[in-house]
Structure 1
């Protein structure tokens, strides 16, 4: 039986309120998330900017990483670049989101830890 004929019969059975004998299964992927892609590309761009203009990131980086600030600037840039690319692509998005959560927690602990030691 041809594809068109089966599709027509399945449609007629559905209209009549019956379950079609040979249902047509359409394998469709859901559309990709544009906001997630844009966020990922933005994060990757910010990570790449750590390499092109590290001086712009050093004052903020120095708060959490007072020693070896330039090395930490490059390390954070690489981390943001890789996480951003992971979030950009659907296949690795979940892993990238978990990594981003861990990275933000790590940065938060560094900022609160350095602020606590500065107040003492």
Structure 2
């Protein structure tokens, strides 16, 4: 698919909103398969091929690589996620909030020891 000749809205079938609002610019995308499945749209094939080649990519980096707006890549990524072909990992800040809710705050004594150990490195 030639990015210069095809407007971004054609890549998404004219849709401008993702099916779910869980993706952030820093969301890391990873392929759930080791190959590009046959039933994927040409746009989805482009996305999966780039993610497979890199191993994992943040959404913003993928959009830059494809020379497409992040909003359109979100739509494509959500479609692939809904189909089970992409695995998404939320940014660290969201993960930390969920971790605090489940486990409680981290052990500050342990964190201080880790910081002291890092400072001691040459």
| TM-score (ref. length: structure 1) | 0.22
Higher share of residues assigned strand: 2
Q: Which has the larger helix fraction?
A: 1
Higher radius of gyration, 1 or 2: 1
* Highest RCO, 1 vs 2 (Cα 8 Å, sep ≥ 6): 2
